[in-house]
Structures are given as structure tokens and as C-alpha cells.
């Protein structure tokens, strides 16, 4: 995706700057992702409505800690969460087969 930004040059003229952005590859340190998910849980602890969501957030944070012991590694949080949810869904289907 290309984003065009207009700026004033030192001479006062408007110039176009083209910035290449790929929003699908935004990398964040694991420790920040974990803290963000834990903060989301903390903010919604009193709501019964968010129980399943909070359970998923907590389990995702634990999963990241197990997968990335070095929390300074950069990851794409959205990609990791999608993978986590697919694995979780597959495990739930597997458990449901034997109930």
C-alpha cells in the first residue's frame, strides 16, 4: 500500500513523499503483545460478557510465553493470534469427538 503525504520543503513548496506501508507485516515485541492482552483482560474483569474473550486472551498470553521464551523477539500479533485460534479450534473439535 502506498501512502502519499504532502509536506512543505524548506523553501515553502509542497512536496509529495511516497511512503510504502504494509500493514500486514507490523512486528511488535512479544512482551508488548503479552502486556497488551493482559491489560485488556484486566480492564474487562468485572464484565460477565467478556468471560470467553478473557479466557482466550489469557491463554494466548500463556501460549506466547511458552512459544517465545525470549520475549524481545518481534512477531506479527495478528498472525500469531489467528494461528492460536485455529489451533484452539482444532483442539476443541478433537476433544468434542471423544465426549
> Is residue 76's pLDDT more than 90?
yes
Q: Which pLDDT band holds residue 48 (cuts at 50, 70, 90)?
A: confident
pTM as predicted:
0.69
pLDDT of amino acid 6: 46
Contacting residues for 52 by C-beta, under 8 A, at least 6 apart: none
Q: pLDDT per residue over 26-46, tens digit each?
A: 899 999 999 999 999 999 988
Amino acid at each position: 500500500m502506498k501512502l502519499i503525504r504532502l509536506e512543505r520543503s524548506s523553501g515553502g513548496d509542497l512536496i509529495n513523499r511516497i511512503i510504502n506501508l504494509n500493514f500486514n507485516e507490523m512486528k511488535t515485541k512479544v512482551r508488548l503483545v503479552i502486556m497488551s492482552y493482559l491489560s485488556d483482560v484486566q480492564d474487562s474483569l468485572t464484565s460477565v460478557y467478556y468471560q470467553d474473550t478473557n479466557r482466550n486472551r489469557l491463554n494466548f498470553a500463556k501460549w506466547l510465553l511458552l512459544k517465545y521464551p525470549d520475549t524481545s523477539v518481534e512477531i506479527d500479533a495478528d498472525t500469531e493470534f489467528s494461528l492460536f485460534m485455529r489451533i484452539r479450534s482444532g483442539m476443541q473439535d478433537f476433544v468434542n469427538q471423544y465426549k
